[in-house]
Amino acid sequence: MRIKKSLHTPASFMAKLATAFAVAGVLVACGDGETICEEPIEIDDSSTSRSDSLSSSTITQESSSSEMADQVRHDDSTAATSSSSAAVTSSSPSVPNSSSAVPSSSSVAVPSSSETLPASSSAATPSSSSTEPTETYFWNDEFNTIDTSKWTFEIGTGSNGWGNSEWEYYTDRSENAYVQDGILHIRANKEDYKGSKYTSARMITKGKFSFTYGTVEARIALPTGKGIWPAFWMLGANIDQVSWPACGEIDIIESINDESIVYGTNHWDYNGDHASYGNNTSDFHGAKKALDITQFHTYKLTWDNKLIAMYVDDFKYHEISIENNSGGTDAFHKPQFFLLNVAVAGNWPGFEVDDAQFPNEMLVDYIRISK
């Protein structure tokens, strides 16, 4: 778990940061100009970051799947924090490189109807929402299969557990990612595998699809359990050029442990420092939504040149102003790509893991983008 302490920052910086979010009404400066009453500024003492750098050198919006086949894929970037406060690190975090390799196959094995996998502890009943949508989307995946023209698998343990001291080994095996009845299953397992005690999957659209602005809707059921950490999130497509956090990160969905709480967070660079701002479903400026995250819910991200907002079943749980690059948020006016993963243990959920939960799964019915 990350260690935090209060930070007294210069009045000039606090005034700038307060102004940055005033449009969205998410930060309110106190009269002394040195503190923010509604959301405290904190410093992160952890030595690890949510994101290590990606090593592939090109980003294109919808390149062919063969263009990724020989690239090294790794992107150590899971959330540094998802509290409802703005956090600024006192110095730029170190962003080590990973050395995981891309599998050469262009297809992903999907269990046949005769193949039996152990029952998951996930509570949701895997059932697709409906037949193919009739609306034309800017981009969508209905997960009738794992489409390798859209998704690439991260492989391995990353650098320092994907920048977060995570314990899982990510694979591209059907034991960790498969489609059944129109539902994508990302499954975390307890097993000894290549030096790790747990396996899971991490899928990204980097190099195959990225976009700027739009409305994202996804129907997802999340796993819960001590030490589990599922996420649906985005990273700036220019991460190879500018590194993290300068590329920007948009965490649409995160949850940890046994909580039935969904967190939404933004991470970016502010004058050389790591800045973050987030909220959650248990307290969005006094409003809260009780929900069973192990059941399917419709999650939505709205993103334009003024605001980024996040919803679950139309309940808003996060909003941030990015108008006129307020607070140094220019990273959120550039293309971002998707990530889906289920981590086991780490700096945020902690290192106590209940092995009785495995196998445990995140279920994804669809992801759809409208412009």
Mean pLDDT by groups of 10 residues along the chain of 371 residues: 33 43 39 34 38 34 34 36 37 34 37 55 67 82 98 96 97 98 98 98 98 98 98 98 98 98 98 98 97 98 98 98 98 98 98 98 98 94
Tell me how far apart the alpha carbons of residues 273 and 244 are, in angstroms, rounded to a whole number. 11
pLDDT, residue 121, reads: 72
Task: Give the distance, in angstroms, between the CA of residue 181 and the centroid of all CA atoms in the same chain.
Answer: 25
Question: Of residues 39, 166, 168, 254, which has the active-site annotation?
Answer: 254
Structural domain count of the chain: 1
CA-wise closest residue to 340 among 233, 200, 239: 233
The CATH number of the domain holding residue 302 is: 2.60.120.200
Residue 253 in domain? yes
Task: Specify the DSSP class assigned to residue 137.
Answer: P
In a domain, 190, yes or no: yes
254 is a catalytic site residue: yes
Task: Give me the pLDDT at residue 9, please.
Answer: 36
The DSSP secondary-structure symbol of 206 reads T
- Residue from 226, 232, 180 nearest 202 by CA: 232
Please indicate, yes or no, if residue 2 is contained in any of the structural domains: no
How far is residue 244's CA from residue 267's CA, in Å, rounded to a whole number? 9
Residue among 345, 327, 343, 338 nearest 14 (CA): 327
User: Hey, what are 178's tokens?
Assistant: 């498969």
pLDDT at 134: 66
Tokens of 148: 């390798």
Q: What does the alpha-carbon distance between residue 250 and residue 27 come to, in Å, rounded to a whole number?
A: 19
Range of the domain at 268: 46-81+93-106+119-370
Residue 214 placed within a domain: yes
Q: Are 228 and 188 in contact (CB under 8 A)?
A: yes
Q: In sequence order, what are the residues at sequence separation of 6 or more whose Cβ sits closer than 8 angstroms to the Cβ of residue 61?
A: 209, 210, 211, 237, 335
Residue 330 within any structural domain of the chain: yes
* Alpha-carbon span 360 to 222, nearest angstrom: 9
CB 204 within 8 A of CB 59: no
Residue 359 within a domain: yes
| φ, ψ at 16 (rounded to 5°) | -65, -45
Tell me if 309 is assigned to some domain.
yes
- 26 within some domain: no
Options 42, 154, 166, 249, the catalytic residue: 249
**Residue 150 CB contacts under 8 Å (≥ 6 apart), including other chains:** 141, 205, 208, 209
For 140-189, what is each residue's pLDDT tens digit? 999 999 999 999 999 999 999 999 999 999 999 999 999 999 999 999 99
